[in-house]
Amino acid sequence: MTAGSGEPKVDVQADGPEDAGQWSAKLRRAAVSAFPPGRLLPDRQPAYVASWIYVFGALTLAALAIVVLSGSVLAIEGPTWWHLSRVGLFVNSMHLWSVELFFFFMVIHLWGKFFMAAWRGRRRATWITGVLSFVVSVAAAFSGYLSQQNFDSQWIATQAKDGINATGAGAFFNVLNFGQMLMWHILLLPAAVGLLVIVHILLVRRRGVVPPFAPDPGDLVEPDRGATAGDPTVARMAAP
Amino acid sequence: MAIRQALVGGLAQSVIDLNGPGRYVHWGFIQISVANLVVIALMFVVFVAAILVPFPKRRGEDR
């Protein structure tokens, strides 16, 4: 079905009137209403996004993709391979350094969004899912150190056990139990990070990228050009 | 191959000497490794650069 402008129109209607009350039809209508395709995968962003500080969210996602891919290869091949073979050592190092870059980019993204007060404009849930992603990622990285299968992981586990036990989490998160830590590292925590990141991105798409603070009215007047009310960039910046 | 490994290994060692215990900075109750401090300093530098360095414009874009 196409609209008059030639743009394809998304068909969200139920197959028949009697199907409109089904949960699948309701869910489809709600999903398309919240995330129309143009909003879910936009072609353009507002003018204020043309700054390097807005790049670090995407860089964090790129690093996360490399983390997951290299971790998947490590899971297929196993510890003997990643400790002894040259390719295994390379993929092991790639997993480590992509995690380093993941946190590097995520912290800069966090600083940028903090100083933008990115929770403005009904974006509290976006901020909170970002914070949770960071915290769960720290736990995922920690369980990764415990899953290396070397003296380093044994040292970290014995040093961490007292601190973890003091919090009470040791009852179900035993850092000396390698099998349990491996399962946390390759299943539970990556699943949690992945879910939080997906929700975070969907919320960014739903609410849009946070705009800069509106400048003072006096700042909008440039003496040599006169009033800038007609400047589309300024108009967008001043919008709530 | 041995020569190449010696050259590459020697070059890496001349930049960062990993043969020995890590170096730490003590400042009151704060204790941090030099390596972690360097990473944090790098993050600050990249953060400031991301704000100050102009973003490239599209060809023909006037804003």
Residue B42 belongs to a domain: yes
Alpha helices in chain A (DSSP H): 23-34, 37-40, 56-77, 79-84, 86-115, 124-146, 151-167, 178-183, 189-207, 232-238
Residue B44 belongs to a domain: yes
Going by pLDDT thresholds of 50, 70 and 90, the confidence category of residue A234 is very low
Nearest CB to B47: which of A50, A111, A233?
Answer: A111
Q: Which residues on B lie below 8 Å from A108 (Cβ)?
A: 43, 46-47, 50
Q: Which residues on B lie below 8 Å from A52 (Cβ)?
A: 49-51, 53, 55
Instruction: Specify the higher pLDDT residue, B6 or A93.
Output: A93
Residue B60 belongs to a domain: no
**Which architecture characterizes domain A116-211 according to CATH?**
Up-down Bundle (1.20)
pLDDT at B11: 63
Instruction: Give the domain range for residue B28.
Output: 22-54
B32 vs A: CB within 8 A: no
DSSP secondary structure code for residue A187 in this structure: I
Q: Is the pLDDT of residue A159 over 80?
A: yes
pLDDT at B8: 62
Identify the weakest region by mean pLDDT among A212-216, B6-10, B49-53.
B6-10
Residue B30 belongs to a domain: yes
Going by pLDDT thresholds of 50, 70 and 90, the confidence category of residue A231 is very low
Tokens 């014995």 belong to which residue? A158
Residue B8 belongs to a domain: no
Going by pLDDT thresholds of 50, 70 and 90, the confidence category of residue A2 is very low
Q: Is the pLDDT of residue A127 over 50?
A: yes
Q: Which residues on B lie below 8 Å from A50 (Cβ)?
A: 55, 57
Instruction: Specify the higher pLDDT residue, B5 or A80.
Output: A80
> Which DSSP helix (H) or strand (E) runs through A227?
strand A226-227
Identify the weakest region by mean pLDDT among A93-102, A173-182, A212-221, A222-231.
A222-231
Dihedral angle sign, alpha carbons of residues B55, A47, B60, A231:
negative
From the CA atom positions of chain A, what is the Rg in Å?
24
Supply the ipTM of this predicted assembly.
Answer: 0.79
- The domain segmentation of chain A, as residue ranges, is 56-99, 116-211
Residue B2 belongs to a domain: no
Output the CA–CA distances (angstroms, integers) from residue A156 to A32, A70, A137, A176, B38, in the order listed.
47, 23, 17, 10, 22
> Which DSSP helix (H) or strand (E) runs through B30?
strand B30-33
Structure tokens at A134: 């960071």
Distance from CA of A139 to the nearest CA of B (A): 18
pLDDT at B26: 95
**Which of B8, B55, B57, B61 is the best mutation test for A, with the most CBs of A within 10 A?**
B55
Q: Give tens-digit pLDDT for B8-31.
A: 666 666 667 777 888 899 999 999
Q: Is the pLDDT of residue A236 over 50?
A: no
Q: Do A108 and B46 touch (CB under 8 A)?
A: yes
Q: Is the pLDDT of residue A31 over 50?
A: yes
Domain count, chain B: 1
Give CA–CA dist A53/A116, Å, rounded: 10
Give CA–CA dist A119/A94, Å, rounded: 34
Q: Is the pLDDT of residue A76 over 50?
A: yes
A61 vs B: CB within 8 A: no
Residue of A nearest to B51 (CA): A53
Nearest CB to A53: which of B42, B43, B50?
Answer: B50
- Rounded mean pLDDT, A5-14: 66
Residue B50 belongs to a domain: yes
pTM (global) more than 0.90: no
